[in-house]
Every structure is written in C-alpha cells, then in structure tokens.
A and B are shown apart, each in its own frame.
Chain A
Amino acid sequence: GDSVTQMEGPVTLSEEAFLTINCTYTATGYPSLFWYVQYPGEGLQLLLKATKADDKGSNKGFEATYRKETTSFHLEKGSVQVSDSAVYFCASLNTGGFKTIFGAGTRLFVKA
C-alpha cells in the first residue's frame, strides 16, 4: 500500500542554519504531496503542497519539489528561526483517494 517515510528526528539547528527534512513516498498512481506543520498543543497546518511531478511548493521560506524519479519531496529552508520549532509531517494523497497517508513526523528544535 501507499506509504510515506521521513527522516527521524529530533533535528536540532541553530538559528539561521539551513534545514533539510527528507521525505520519500511509495504510491500507486500519482499522488499529491504535502508538508504539514504542528506546533505544540495545536492542530495540523498545511505548510505547502505539490500536485504533480516537478511542481515546487513554497510558503514562509520553506520549499519542496515533487521528484517523481526519486519519489521524494524533501523540505528545505535556507535560514531557520526559533519560531520554526515544531513537528513537520510529510503526507501523500492519491487522486480519488479517501485518506491522507502521513509520515512519522520530524521534530525540529531551533536554538537562538
């Protein structure tokens, strides 16, 4: 079945460091891909998305490119801030599908 694998955390970075969180997926067909962010004690917020191969999703300085050849959707940010500390979930949704498949989540700590 469909699955999403993302790098284990926690990831600890200093402010202004470069961030990469790896995500790969397996799916039948051509899923849409998402990154969600969850701040402590809060719900899921959509961070960015990409709906087809080579699409780049971007928001708040975060970017991820849908790579069909490597079945990947890695999350990057050039300069992280303390306020970026949260748990990040990679997710996939097949067209016509009824459920979003989530990765295990990666906790990010950013130190001042």
Chain B
Amino acid sequence: AAGVIQSPRHLIKEKRETATLKCYPIPRHDTVYWYQQGPGQDPQFLISFYEKMQSDKGSIPDRFSAQQFSDYHSELNMSSLELGDSALYFCASSLGVTVINNEQFFGPGTRLTVL
C-alpha cells in the first residue's frame, strides 16, 4: 500500500539558510500534518492543512511557513535556520477530519541538520 512520502530524507544546511521540506500524502488523503521531533524528544505538532486551508497551528516559529497545494502535497518552508531547528520533521496524512477515527499515517521523516 502507498505510504506518506517525504523528501528529502536528509538535509544539511548552514545557519541563516532556508530549507524546504516536501510531503506527499497517501492517495485520496486530504489532510496533512507536520511535526517536529528534537533529539530525545517526543514529536511536537507544528501545523496542519485540510483541503488546502490551514486547519490548526501548534508551536510553529514565525520563521516557518507551510502550505498545501491543489494535489494535496504540502511543503514546509523554513527560513533563517538556527542550530535549534536541527530535528526530525514528520509529515502525516489522514482522510478528512469529520471521519470517525481519522488515524494519521506518518511518513519516514526528514532529518534536518543545521551547522
């Protein structure tokens, strides 16, 4: 079965650079979620989109922005990178938010290292 695809899987950037992470949800899933997992930490919710509109916002820095496109893929844009942004970034997708038990399916993550 198709899973959530994230690219790139690994990314190395310098401080103050920008980065773009991409997420391709499971076919027919219309909702995507972004999570950040720092070293030794639990995943923290950043932001989500339903039908191309932002649906919820968590602890996402102002330096980050995201959007969902017409084909439902999503991109997380990160600017003015800081050392503390080094983390594993997960994308998850689900089928709608009104469906009972709308389980989120997680991608493999993008590991971002800021030097």
Chain A contacts to B: CB under 8 angstroms: 32, 34, 36, 42-46, 49, 51, 89, 93, 95-105
Contacts of B106 in A (CB 8 A): 36, 43-46
Give the residue of B42, B44, B103 whose beta carbon is less than 8 angstroms from that of A93: B103
Binding site for A on B (CB under 8 A): 31, 33, 35, 41-45, 48, 50, 55-56, 58, 88, 90, 92, 97-98, 100-109
B92 and A104 contact, CB distance less than 8 A: no
| Contacting pair A43 B90 (CB below 8 A) | yes
Q: Please name all residues of chain B whose beta carbon is closer than 8 Å to the beta carbon of A32 when the two chains form the complex.
A: 101, 103
Take A99-B48, A99-B56 as given contacts and tell me if A42 and B104 are in contact as well, using a CB distance cutoff of 8 Å. Answer: no
Contacts of B92 in A (CB 8 A): 100
Known: A93-B102, A93-B103. A99 touches B108 (CB 8 A): no
B101, A51: Cβ atoms closer than 8 Å: yes
B58 touches A43 (CB 8 A): no
Alpha-carbon separation in the docked complex, A97 to B97 (Å): 7
Which residues of the other chain, B, contact A49 by a CB distance below 8 angstroms?
A: 103
If A100-B33, A100-B92, A103-B42 touch, does A95 touch B48 (CB 8 Å cutoff)?
Answer: no
B43, B88, B102: the one contacting A95 at CB < 8 Å is B102
- A-B CB proximity, top 8 nearest: A98-B56, A99-B45, A43-B108, A102-B42, A43-B109, A98-B48, A44-B106, A51-B101
Q: Which residues of B contact A89 (CB under 8 A)?
A: 42-43
Q: For residue B35, which residues in chain A have a CB less than 8 angstroms away from its CB? A: 100
Closest to B58 in A: A99
Least CB distance from A98 to B in Å reads 4
Given A43-B109, A103-B42, A104-B42; A98-B103 close (CB under 8 Å)? no
Interface centre among B41, B102, B103, B104 (most CB of A within 10 A): B104
CB distance from B11 to the nearest CB of A (A): 15
Are A93 and B97 in touch, CB under 8 angstroms? no
B80 CB to nearest chain A CB (Å): 25
Q: How far is the CB of B94 from chain A (nearest CB, A)?
A: 9
